[in-house]
Structure 1
Amino acid sequence: MGQREEAKFDRELADLSASARWREWMRRIEAVLFASASPVARDDLARVVGQGASVDVLIEDLAVDLEGRPYEVAQVGAGWMLRTRAAYAPAIRAVADVGGKGLNLSEQDMAVLAAIAFHQPISRDGLKEIFGKEISRDLIGRLAERDLIGTGPREPRRGAPYTFVTTETFLATFGMQSLRDLPDPEQLDDAGLAGQLERPGA
């Protein structure tokens, strides 16, 4: 929204009653979340509601309002998004054309992604220690192309390599609010990583 458009945009809705104003702010937030392909931050949502209105409380009320609907408000990282409830996933897969939205990742891709998630920030050398071999740039590229990983901080030493971290897209893709929602390492037996991965901060 440009500065001129934002100046014309009525955030305060002073001509409405308090209850109608609150409901309209909720609908605006719902519309923004519906239109966005990625999580929307609190500061961005605050631009469509009146000054002094609590985005957090509006989100809570919207979540209650959406109870019984096939989608819900989900916090992902520092933002929010609308997400289809898990109970409706089979119906969507049965009818909708979602083939292009699949991750199309190999088992090795998923194993490396899990290692990054549990050990971030981690360098290519760190990944080599975990897997006992060099991880190809192509594999890292596939994960970065899908915005599942990004570049993390370098170690505070000259010539230190970049590290890798997961992104908000990673959280949204796997239905997590934060890295605290990662599964316990024991649940990763099928990926062959149990015992190698630790929860961040553990």
Structure 2
Amino acid sequence: MELKHILEAALLAAGRPLSLDQLQKLFPEEGARPDKARLREALAELEADYRDRAIELREVGSGWRIQVRSRFSPWVNRLWEEKPPRYSRALLETLAIIAYRQPITRGEIEEIRGVSVSTQILRTLQEREWVRIVGHRDVPGRPALYATTRQFLDYFNLKSLDDLPPLQALRDLEPETPGEAEAPPAAEVIRLHRLDNDPQAIDLLPMPDDSEFIAVAAWDPDDGEGLAEVPEPNVPEDEAPRAEDEAAPGSAT
């Protein structure tokens, strides 16, 4: 039996990404276990076999997975009647800033955005397992440092953070005149990247309407300007950040 067919069966049965180490464990006998170079060759063969198919083999943060090509999402989406939850522009903007500037503290996120970050936003990002606390800044109060996770890479079809669209792409999306359409934010660039590489269907990642996007494409990471002038949506009092949330290690979880 061909190695690529064994790998194909395992990836289809798993329904999640499998690393090379996990694929090697499919072969308990030491002598029959293929090395990683041979596994990569077989995966490349499988990838070529799918070239003209509705499915594709893709490497993401956690390993390899078989997924539906994004162009078929208009039809595949109809398999799910229930609409997924939608995320606020503030949450998407916060996620984009963490992705590009990690590891970063809550205070630094607020400094870049020019507005406060609610505790609920950080909690939601951690519950989705897109963001986690990776340490604490060695300054008074030892604020928590936030970074993206392997699940973030998997969800957005990224092999590594190097696959994120360059920040220059955000600036290129900025409108030249105030009369033009509002430019998409960093979160929208991430969204567009995922639409081109969606594992199942575009709407599996619910996003707000274009009218809800904040124009953060103007954000220059060197001077932090551009976000402070954007009006922030109303945040309920029970979601408003407290001073102790930033000061206490790991409190915004």
Q: TM-score, normalised by structure 2?
A: 0.61
Shift of residue 181, structure 1, vs aligned partner: 2.1
Matched residue count: 174
Of 76, 89, 104 in structure 2, the residue corresponding to residue 107 of structure 1 is 89
SS of residue paired to 1:52: coil
Cα offsets for 1:31-82 (capped at 9, x unmatched): 3322334422211111114323422112111111222221111111251112
Distance 2:81 2:65 in 1: 18
Mapped contact 1:38–1:169 kept (Cα < 8 A): no
How many angstroms apart in 2 are the aligned matches of 1:164 and 1:38? 25
Q: What residue in structure 2 maps to residue 34 of structure 1?
A: 12
Whether the 8 Å CA contact 2:131–2:152 is kept in 1: the answer is: yes
CA distance in 2, matches of 1:154, 1:83: 37
CA contact (8 A) 2:61 2:151 kept: no
Residues 1-202 of structure 1 aligned to structure 2 (within 5 Å): 20=1, 23=2, 25-49=3-27, 50-53=32-35, 54-93=38-77, 95-97=78-80, 99=82, 102=84, 104-156=86-138, 160-183=142-165, 184-186=169-171, 187=173, 189-191=183-185, 192-196=215-219, 198=221
Do 1:147 and 1:169's aligned partners in 2 also have CA atoms closer than 8 Å? yes
CA RMSD of aligned residues (A): 2.3
Q: Distance in 2 between matches of 1:165 and 1:151?
A: 6
Higher RCO, Cα 8 Å, sep 6+: 2
Distance 1:144 1:59 in 2: 32
SS at match of 1:140: helix
The 10-residue stretch of structure 1 (142-151 or 49-58) with the greater mean CA deviation from structure 2: 49-58
Q: Closer, same or farther in 2 for the Cα pair 1:171/1:46, shift >3 Å?
A: same
Structure 1, unaligned runs of 5 or more: 1-19
The percent of aligned pairs where both chains have the same amino acid is 26
**Consecutive aligned runs of 4 or more in structure 1 exceeding 6 Å deviation:** none
User: Taking structure 1 as reference, are residues 32 and 98 closer, same or farther at Cα in structure 2, changes over 3 Å only?
Assistant: farther
Secondary structure at the aligned position of 1:180 is classed as: helix
- Whether the 8 Å contact between 1:119 and 1:197 is mirrored in structure 2 is no
In structure 2, how many angstroms separate the alpha carbons of the residues matched to 1:98 and 1:179?
Answer: 33
The residue number in structure 2 matching 1:7 is: none
Of 71-80 and 154-163, more deviation after overlay is shown by: 154-163
Task: Report the CA distance shift for 1:133/1:55 in structure 2 as closer, same or farther (over 3 A).
Answer: same
Cα distance change on mapping 1:103 and 1:51 into 2, 3 Å: farther
Q: Shift of the alpha carbon at 1:98?
A: 6.4
**TM-score, length of structure 1 as denominator length:** 0.75
Work out whether residues 147 and 167 of structure 1, in 8 Å CA contact, stay in contact via their aligned partners in 2: yes
Unpaired runs of at least 5, structure 2: 175-182, 186-214, 222-253
Question: Could you say which structure has the higher helix fraction?
Answer: 1
